[in-house]
């Protein structure tokens, strides 16, 4: 049975819950990118985001995402999303609720840009499905990452 998914404003209590159960691919990406634990990375992203939301699956926080300002004057934002295994277990519901996110974010930003761990194939497929362009992998700190981006003109 598909989970009931609800998007709510992110709250500090969601951070520890999601971080403790973060899916392995997201844990690996966070550590490769920053050397931080899931809790430290999710706490940082929550604090630094201009907007941040949580997806509740059957009332339980399972995914947190947001966007941080890279360049306010140029309208460039860095979208991010970290979650638990519930994302893959309920992928159809997740795809339904996430399909409009880029359009919503592009109302505030003219460009969305960030990096994804090249090993994170599930996230890469999702980003491509959303319409992001992904560039070839580049080495950052000994790990391969792919820049992904979308411009308002792309939608």
Using DSSP, state whether 76 is helix, strand or coil: strand
CATH of the domain at 18: 3.40.630.30
pLDDT tens string 41-59: 999 999 999 999 999 999 9
Domain count along the chain: 1
Q: What is the pLDDT of residue 134?
A: 98
Length of the chain: 155
Using DSSP, state whether 139 is helix, strand or coil: strand
Q: Confirm if 85 and 30 have CB atoms less than 8 A apart.
A: no
Q: Confirm if 77 and 109 have CB atoms less than 8 A apart.
A: yes
State mean pLDDT over 115-136. Answer: 97
Which of the four pLDDT bands, split at 50, 70 and 90, describes residue 2? confident
pLDDT of 155 strictly over 90: no
Q: Confirm if 87 and 64 have CB atoms less than 8 A apart.
A: no
Owning domain of residue 68 = 5-154
């Amino acid at each position: 049975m598909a989970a009931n998914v609800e998007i709510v404003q992110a709250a500090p209590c969601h951070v520890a819950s999601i971080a403790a159960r973060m899916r392995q691919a997201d844990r690996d990406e966070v550590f490769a990118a920053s050397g931080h634990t899931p809790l430290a990375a999710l706490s940082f992203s929550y604090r630094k985001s201009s907007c941040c939301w949580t997806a509740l699956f059957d009332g339980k926080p399972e995914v947190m995402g947001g966007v941080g300002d890279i360049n306010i004057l140029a309208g460039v934002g860095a979208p991010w999303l970290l979650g638990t295994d519930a994302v893959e277990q309920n992928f159809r519901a997740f795809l339904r609720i996430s399909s409009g996110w880029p359009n919503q974010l592009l109302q505030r930003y003219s460009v969305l840009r960030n990096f994804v761990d090249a090993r994170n194939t599930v996230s890469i497929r999702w980003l491509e499905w959303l319409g992001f362009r992904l560039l070839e992998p580049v080495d950052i700190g000994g790990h391969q990452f792919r820049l992904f981006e979308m411009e308002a003109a792309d939608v």
